[in-house]
């Protein structure tokens, strides 16, 4: 695959930085929490800051910038 092909591929996510905090947090969630989190992430009117604050209140260590990066698929895991 050429560089141009790689960069124009919508599934391409560069591998950089540490593991995705959001993905690691999702692995720790129970099924009900994960379903609610997934719905919140899919809702464009749910601000990343509010999602992060709600997760922090539940004891998860995740920041708003990690939520936003995960939504843009700019994180290491490449899933949203």
In-domain check, residue 29: yes
In-domain check, residue 77: yes
SS3 of residue 6 by DSSP = helix
In-domain check, residue 12: no
In-domain check, residue 25: yes
In-domain check, residue 5: no
Question: What pLDDT, on the 0 to 100 scale, is given for residue 51?
Answer: 97
Domain span at 49? 18-80
CA distance 22 to 19: 9
pLDDT in tens, 5-52: 777 777 666 666 667 899 999 999 999 999 999 999 999 999 999 999
Question: What pLDDT, on the 0 to 100 scale, is given for residue 2?
Answer: 77
**What is 11-40 written as a DSSP string?**
T-----SS--HHHHHHHHS-HHHHHHHHHH
In-domain check, residue 1: no
How many domains does the structure of the chain reveal?
Answer: 1
Question: What pLDDT, on the 0 to 100 scale, is given for residue 14?
Answer: 62
In-domain check, residue 50: yes
pTM of this prediction?
0.72
pLDDT in tens, 52-67: 999 999 999 999 999 9
């Amino acid at each position: 695959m050429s560089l141009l092909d790689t960069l124009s591929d919508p599934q391409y996510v560069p591998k950089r930085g540490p593991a995705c905090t959001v993905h690691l947090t999702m692995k720790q969630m129970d099924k009900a929490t994960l379903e609610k989190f997934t719905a919140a992430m899919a809702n464009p009117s749910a601000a990343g800051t509010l999602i992060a604050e709600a997760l922090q209140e539940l004891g998860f260590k995740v920041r708003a910038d990690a939520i936003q990066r995960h939504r843009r698929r700019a994180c290491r895991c490449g899933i949203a």
